[in-house]
């Protein structure tokens, strides 16, 4: 279900305020220099945790993914992950499961096929990547499930 657009009154109520979680500024109509506001907003987004450990398509190949750098705790071990690119050609016409796990205190990315599912050991689910005909067709972000799990 898509997010509903704000009404004009709701937009006007936001002008000049900042979002409580992201600290994004809601600028007034006609703000000048608009470029400075846009660059500050993009910088806040880039620096936020929203992109940490995000799995996205990579331009390395039609079957490659990029896993963004990030920090997470798996089974009480804090892992600082530097990011990496991985080729999923071996999972063509299937769904690849991507996760982060602890490998003796070092972060390690795990990749498994849809048939085998997620690993039994401690891990942080990152994404499910569906491939068909040598192309990535869908990336399902699974990171939020870990945050909201009880």
Digit-coded pLDDT (tens) for 68-117: 999 999 989 999 999 999 999 999 999 999 999 999 999 999 999 987 88
Residue extents of the structural domains in the chain: 8-47, 51-148
Q: Average per-residue pLDDT in the chain?
A: 87
2: which 2 tokens?
């898509």
pLDDT number for residue 23: 74
90: which 2 tokens?
């071996």
User: Would you say residue 1 has pLDDT above 50?
Assistant: no
Q: What percent of the chain has pLDDT over 70?
A: 91
CA angle 54, 45, 107 (to 5 degrees): 30
Handedness of CA 98, 102, 103, 106 (dihedral sign): positive
Cα 144 versus chain centre, distance? 9
pLDDT number for residue 110: 95
pTM strictly above 0.85 = no
How does strand 70-74 pair with strand 94-103?
Answer: unpaired
User: Would you say residue 22 has pLDDT above 80?
Assistant: no
């Amino acid at each position: 279900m898509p997010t509903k657009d704000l009404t004009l009154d709701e937009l006007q109520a936001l002008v000049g305020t900042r979002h409580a979680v992201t600290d994004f500024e809601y600028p007034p109509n006609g703000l000048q220099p608009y470029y400075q506001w846009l660059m500050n907003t993009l910088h806040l987004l880039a620096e936020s945790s929203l992109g940490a450990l995000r799995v996205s398509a990579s331009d390395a190949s039609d079957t490659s993914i990029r896993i963004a750098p990030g920090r997470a705790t798996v089974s009480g071990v804090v892992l600082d992950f530097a990011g990496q690119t991985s080729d999923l050609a071996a999972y063509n016409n299937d769904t690849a499961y991507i996760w982060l796990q602890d490998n003796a205190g070092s972060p390690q990315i795990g990749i498994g096929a849809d048939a085998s599912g997620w690993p039994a050991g401690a891990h942080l689910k990152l994404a499910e990547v569906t491939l068909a005909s040598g192309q990535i067709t869908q990336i399902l972000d699974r990171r939020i499930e870990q945050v909201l799990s009880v």
